[in-house]
Each structure stands twice: as structure tokens, then as C-alpha cells.
Amino acid sequence: MLINTGKMISLSEANEKFSRIAQIVDQEKTLIIMKNNKPKYVILDFEQFSSEATSDEDKLDIIADKILKENMLAFKTY
């Protein structure tokens, strides 16, 4: 996974400047908060989060349908 360093902020700065965090998330849709110089937390714009969650659910439905179709005979015998 590639990390955009322009979307990173330290935990101490996040504690001091929450309005700055909101501003970055409004512009960039995501922000990574670093703790001890390592990525620790991710803040997402709610619309971004919702669209990604929906996308993952759709993918799961497609995979489940594929497994069901490929194994229909096994499901019918039980």
C-alpha cells in the first residue's frame, strides 16, 4: 500500500489541531495519524467510508453467488 506523506500528521499535532485534521480530511478524504513515527490511525471522510463499505459488501455478494453457482450440486445433495 502506498502512503501519501501529505496525508499524514503526528498524534501530538492531531491532539492540538483537530480543526486542521478536519480540513485535511475535507480536502483529501483520508488522513493517517502517526504514533511513534509509525502509521497508527486512519480518519476517513464519511462518504468515502460509506462508498468503500458498500463496495466491499457488493464484492462479497458476487463471490458468494459465484461459490453457490459453482457448487450447486453439493448444496442440493445435503
Question: Domain locations in the chain?
Answer: 1-44, 46-78
8 Å CB contact between 39 and 3:
yes
Cβ partners under 8 Å of residue 46, min gap 6: none
Predicted TM-score (pTM) of this structure: 0.57
**pLDDT given for residue 67 in this prediction:** 81
C-alpha cell at 74: 453439493
Mean pLDDT of all residues in 65-75: 78
Q: Locate cell 489541531: which residue?
A: 17
Q: What is the mean pLDDT of residues 52-56?
A: 68
The CATH class for the domain spanning 1-44 reads alpha beta
